[in-house]
Amino acid sequence: MAITLSTLKAMRDRAEKIAVLTCYDASFARVLDAAGVDVLLVGDSLGMVIQGHTSTLPVKLAEMVYHTRCVAAGTERAFLVADLPFGSYQPSPERAFSAAARLMAAGAHMVKLEGGAIMVDTVAFLTQRGIPVCAHLGLLPQSVNQLGGYRVQGREDAAATQLVADARALEVAGAGLIVLEMVPATLAQAVTEALTIPTIGIGAGVNCSGQVLVLYDMLGLYPRAPKFSKNFLEGRNGIEAATRAYVAAVKDGSFPAADHTF
């Protein structure tokens, strides 16, 4: 049975963890789908792990559309989220709708965008017009130059308070999911408890509604693995076995462990 946004909300309500992985092509989509991954994220992280860039910023909308179409072709069960790339949604809600519509037409079930209060009007504009939105708070990879690098966010009291307020505002605006990246576990838990929609953590502790990793980090293929990742392929005999181990670890709460947490 295909997973929908309603399925994910029900999982959150009954405290069943949501397992998410990035995916960029049909072949991996088939494997991850069969292995029980709940959500496939066509991430603009493809700019780094597929294209070899040092950030996500060079990724173009046409490339995201292409990879979304590829992943959709290999997916039967999983919910499919696609990133809006840098520059495709920031100028205006209307620009965001145009870009999001292309990703939805390519097979996405939801689009993801980065930013807090400044994105509230855009989230409302999209959701009121039938496009589900996943928000993204904490470390914002598309803002890496402004943030001064890939650093933990929300350590200071004021920043933590703002992040909680942003999460609430995005939920009110219509966001159906929120990714929390590289924030202290206590803050991610506070955000999760303040919302009624699922939170998906990446370097945000075990108390989010679910977890996401970049596929190539989960398989130990990317040379600069972040602290919050784990190589699930190590000691296993294939990609499907590694993926099933990741799903099981997310579901039973053994991943992320303390050493993957800030």
Within 13 Å of residue 246, how many CA atoms lie on the same side as its CB?
34
- According to DSSP, the residues that pair with 211 across neighbouring strands are 19, 201
Catalytic residue among 63, 171, 181, 240: 181
Per-residue pLDDT tens digits for 82-116 = 999 999 999 999 999 999 999 999 999 999 999 99
DSSP E strands, the chain: 18-22, 39-42, 79-83, 110-114, 133-138, 177-181, 199-202, 210-213
Domain ranges of the chain: 5-260
Q: What pLDDT score does 149 carry?
A: 72
Per-residue confidence band for 145, with pLDDT thresholds at 50, 70 and 90: confident
Per-residue pLDDT tens digits for 150-196 = 889 999 999 999 999 999 999 999 999 999 999 999 999 999 999 99
Per-residue pLDDT tens digits for 218-239 = 999 988 789 999 999 999 999 9
Checking if the pLDDT of 243 tops 90, the result is: yes
Tell the residue number behind the tokens 């990133």, with chain if given. 83
Q: Is 181 a catalytic residue?
A: yes
Within 13 Å of residue 135, how many CA atoms lie on the same side as its CB?
33
Q: What pLDDT score does 119 carry?
A: 98
Per-residue pLDDT tens digits for 17-62 = 999 999 999 999 999 999 999 999 999 999 999 999 999 999 999 9
Rounded to the nearest integer, the mean pLDDT of the chain is 96
Contact 141, 103 (CB under 8 A): no
Q: Across residues 200-210, what is the average pLDDT?
A: 98
- Under CATH, which architecture does the 5-260 domain have? Alpha-Beta Barrel (3.20)
What's this model's pTM, rounded to 2 decimal places?
0.97
